[in-house]
Amino acid sequence: MFLSVVIFLVGLIVLSWSADRFVYGASALAKNIGISPMMIGLTIVAMGSSAPEIVVSAMASANGNMNTAVGNALGSNITNIALVLGITALVKPLVVASTTLKRELPALLVITLIAIAFLFDGELASYEGLILMGLFVFVLAMMAWLSLQVDKEDPLVAETADEIPSNVSTTSALIWVGVGLVLLPLSAHFLVDSAVEIARYFGISDLVIGLTIIAFGTSLPELAASIAGVLKGEDDLALGNIIGSNIFNLLAVLGMPGLISPGLLDPDVFNRDMWVMLGLTLLLFLFSFDLIGKRIISRTNGALFLASFIGYQIWLFG
């Protein structure tokens, strides 16, 4: 048991570090090729923030732990909104000014409803996984197109440009991409195996281990990035990372088990978890979206999110 915990923690650290190095190398390489910082931010960086969840989902599905993969997708979205955004807003209220985010928020809500429609029958079929992965490619293409249309005065433009690495040679960038591609699946393999062992030891279901320990672990990079972002005044970028990550979780992360190991879901997915995710997404939309001007996600909003996360954990283990 002790060894499983150590392997899990080491796997989590290596997974987070290799995902960060992969995004660093891919962003630097894209910049050297001449791709705009905004396009890099909306595609490579956004997708990279979900890389741990995507790889873990693929590994869990390949090992036959489909409910762990589904739990990882739903749990990561719940954790990103309730815990990550909740703590971030408590540290410093977020001012939502970017028109780009006001386009992404409705997209997140629509994608959440599509995911719930697929989960509603208690089964994730292969064709549903294929549709989700197809939508993932479509959303990436739309984000690339959106980056070309964005107003240069949009605060997200300057915030994104500041985060793209500069003065990195193409050789170094390729090396970091290679390091990420090797270590991401390797660390995910050990993380999933050890998490399953821990779950069995405590009598926890595959779904709950995905909803909790794996979802929390893979969301730690978003927590660190969001707090660092708001402390630097990059509120739109911090919120954008959460929205982008949640979109990719529902498309790529949830699509993996549909493609690799389709089958029946744990009934709690329908009875509990997908409704919690929908409720939190609706609250995020309500607190963030305004047709005109700015909106502020206040400390009160953050406290509500955090209280929701604590209540949800009590529900899971109570």
Q: What are the pLDDT digits (tens) for 195-211? A: 888 888 888 888 999 99
Provide the pLDDT for residue 162. Answer: 64
User: What are 170's two structure tokens?
Assistant: 């193409």
What b/e sequence results for 79-110 when a residue is b if at least 16 CB atoms lie within 10 Å of its CB, and e otherwise?
Answer: bbbbbbbbbbbbebbbbbbbebbeebbebbbe
Digit-coded pLDDT (tens) for 67-81: 999 999 999 999 999
- Distance of alpha carbon 241 from alpha carbon 45, whole angstroms: 8
For the structural domain made of 48-156+203-317, what CATH number should be given?
1.20.1420.30
Residue ranges covered by each domain of the chain: 48-156+203-317
- Per-residue pLDDT averaged across 247-265, rounded? 92
Is the model's pTM score more than 0.75? yes
Digit-coded pLDDT (tens) for 136-150: 999 888 877 876 766
Provide the pLDDT for residue 161. Answer: 63
